């Protein structure tokens, strides 16, 4: 692949500028203004304020009626960047691009530059810059705000960088590629007392420990082995102190799955186990269960388009068209419930390399080596589907 030095320098500048000024979901004011300025300068028609801070940039070439959507997420994470030695480190305390959305935006902006420069397609490309992906709210906010009524697309495509996958590799699959995410909060109400006289109390911490272990039996004994699912308890809080048994304990966690049937099963079994165990110990409990992310399910015909475009960019040997599904969740799934499309993974770097640092880690950084790959992939998708 011939290097385009001007393109790579532009994307590098965009990515580092975005990385230095991260903003969490629905607060991407500076980010949206930065993106809008770039795409306006490339000749795109820009509409802002969609679903809060989201925006759409459109470019029409020729008389073709086809419309292809390309999406980038904009939000950062409320976490501290610990790799302070890099020159483009976050300038906002307690906030960083720990998932690579700065790179996703830069890749889509790179595709915009390529397409505006070559204009070798016939139809309309829409760049969709989405807020609040991290908490699964932004896609639905844009949809509710009339995204696809005001800015219709025939197909939509997106990507996510994947640490652990080598640079130069692109992977996707037809059907479910990423899981749903549901969150739960379990509130156990016992009777507090002196730690030296446990017989006078109903200890919610002991009950919580039993519940945490029991929830792990759901996967092994309630879910069909041919289905994939995960139940994780991730937080526990109490109102106790060193020498006092608490009265209240709260457990938080999440579940992952690929089908509505398994989602319903997980919720039912969590409620049954928690209620039964608490009751057996003379306590009460409440379970709050919410649906945060829908599964990301690629459309087969669009997946084939994505595979072919990827092969033209990185070569057939570097494309996996049947990658194993991942239990991570992505707000892009909400778009795929409304319009056809496909999602793909782009290797951020093999394990043990700088690009292999896990997502949501204070040392993580998007690998600038893959900016050009992503930009060319998106541009190739548009050219493929909007042939002159």
pLDDT single digits (tens) 122-163: 999 999 999 999 999 999 999 999 999 999 999 999 999 999
Instruction: Pick out the residues of the known binding site for Mn(2+).
Output: 99, 101, 134, 160, 360
Question: Average pLDDT of 77-93?
Answer: 95
User: pLDDT tens, 325-379?
Assistant: 999 999 999 999 999 999 999 999 999 998 999 999 999 999 999 999 999 999 9
pTM to 2 decimal places: 0.93
Cβ burial of 208 (10 Å; 0-12, 13-18, 19+) is: buried
Q: Where in the chain is the domain with CATH 3.30.70.360?
A: 180-293
What pLDDT score was predicted for residue 2? 60
Question: In which band, very low, low, confident or very high, does the pLDDT at 261 lie, cut at 50, 70 and 90?
Answer: very high
Q: Where in the chain is the domain with CATH 3.40.630.10?
A: 5-177+295-385
What pLDDT score was predicted for residue 110? 98
User: pLDDT tens, 52-79?
Assistant: 999 999 999 999 999 999 999 999 999 9
What pLDDT score was predicted for residue 366? 98
What pLDDT score was predicted for residue 380? 98
User: pLDDT tens, 12-38?
Assistant: 999 999 999 999 999 999 999 999 999
pLDDT score of 308 more than 70: yes
What pLDDT score was predicted for residue 4? 86
Percent of the chain with pLDDT over 70: 99
- Please indicate whether residue 84 or residue 11 has the higher confidence score (pLDDT): 11
Q: Which CATH class is domain 5-177+295-385?
A: alpha beta
Count the alpha carbons within 13 Å of 9 in the hemisphere toward its beta carbon: 3
What pLDDT score was predicted for residue 371? 98
User: pLDDT tens, 201-251?
Assistant: 999 999 999 999 999 999 999 999 999 999 999 999 999 999 999 999 999
Question: Average pLDDT of 170-187?
Answer: 97
What pLDDT score was predicted for residue 200? 97
Question: Average pLDDT of 68-91?
Answer: 96
What pLDDT score was predicted for residue 293? 96
- Please indicate whether residue 1 or residue 245 has the higher confidence score (pLDDT): 245
Q: What is the CA radius of gyration of the chain?
A: 23
**Torsion (CA) 138, 335, 367, 83 in degrees, nearest 10:** 20
What pLDDT score was predicted for residue 1? 54
Beta strands in the chain (DSSP E): 45-50, 54-61, 67-73, 123-130, 155-164, 170-171, 175-178, 180-189, 193-194, 229-238, 244-245, 248-257, 284-293, 296-298, 319-320, 341-350
Please provide residue 85's backbone torsions phi and psi, each rounded to the nearest 5 degrees.
-80, -10
Q: Which fold has domain 180-293?
A: Alpha-Beta Plaits (3.30.70)
Instruction: Pick out the residues of the known binding site.
Output: 99, 101, 134, 160, 360
What pLDDT score was predicted for residue 154? 98
Of 206, 249, 251, 248, the C-alpha closest to 231 is 251
What pLDDT score was predicted for residue 84? 83
């Amino acid at each position: 692949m011939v290097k385009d030095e001007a393109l790579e320098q532009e994307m590098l500048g965009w990515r580092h500028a975005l990385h230095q000024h991260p903003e969490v979901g629905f607060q991407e004011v500076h980010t949206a203004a930065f993106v809008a300025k770039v795409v306006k300068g490339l000749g795109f028609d820009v509409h802002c304020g969609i679903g809060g801070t989201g925006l759409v940039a459109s470019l029409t070439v020729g008389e073709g009626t086809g419309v292809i959507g390309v999406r980038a997420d904009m939000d950062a994470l409320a976490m501290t960047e610990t790799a302070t030695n890099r020159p483009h480190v976050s300038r906002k305390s307690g906030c960083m691009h720990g998932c690579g959305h700065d790179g996703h935006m830069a890749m889509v902006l790179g595709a915009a530059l390529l397409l505006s420069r070559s204009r070798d397609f016939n139809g309309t490309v829409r760049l969709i810059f989405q807020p609040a992906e991290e908490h699964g709210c932004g896609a639905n906010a844009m949809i509710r705000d009339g995204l696809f009524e005001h800015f219709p697309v025939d197909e939509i495509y997106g990507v996510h960088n994947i640490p652990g996958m080598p640079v130069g590799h692109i992977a996707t699959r037809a059907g479910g590629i990423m899981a749903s995410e549901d969150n739960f909060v379990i509130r156990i109400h016992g009777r507090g007392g002196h730690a030296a006289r446990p017989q006078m109390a109903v200890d919610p911490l002991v009950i919580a420990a039993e519940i945490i272990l029991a929830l792990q039996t759901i996967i092994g004994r309630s879910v069909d082995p041919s289905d994939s699912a995960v139940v994780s308890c991730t937080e526990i809080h109490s109102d106790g102190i060193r020498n006092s048994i608490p009265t209240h304990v709260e457990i938080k966690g999440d579940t992952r799955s690929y089908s509505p049937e398994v989602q319903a099963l997980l919720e039912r079994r969590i409620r049954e186990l928690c209620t039964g165990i608490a009751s057996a110990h003379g306590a009460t409990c409440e379970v709050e269960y919410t649906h945060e992310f829908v599964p990301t399910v690629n459309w087969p015909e669009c997946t084939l388009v994505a595979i072919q475009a990827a092969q033209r960019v990185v070569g057939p040997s570097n494309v996996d068209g049947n990658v194993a599904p991942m239990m991570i969740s992505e707000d892009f799934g909400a778009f795929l419930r409304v319009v056809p499309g496909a999602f793909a993974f782009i290797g951020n770097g093999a394990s043990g390399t700088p690009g292999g640092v896990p997502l949501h880690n204070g040392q993580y950084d998007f690998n600038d080596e893959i900016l050009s790959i992503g930009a060319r992939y998106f541009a190739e998708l548009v050219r493929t589907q909007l042939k002159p």
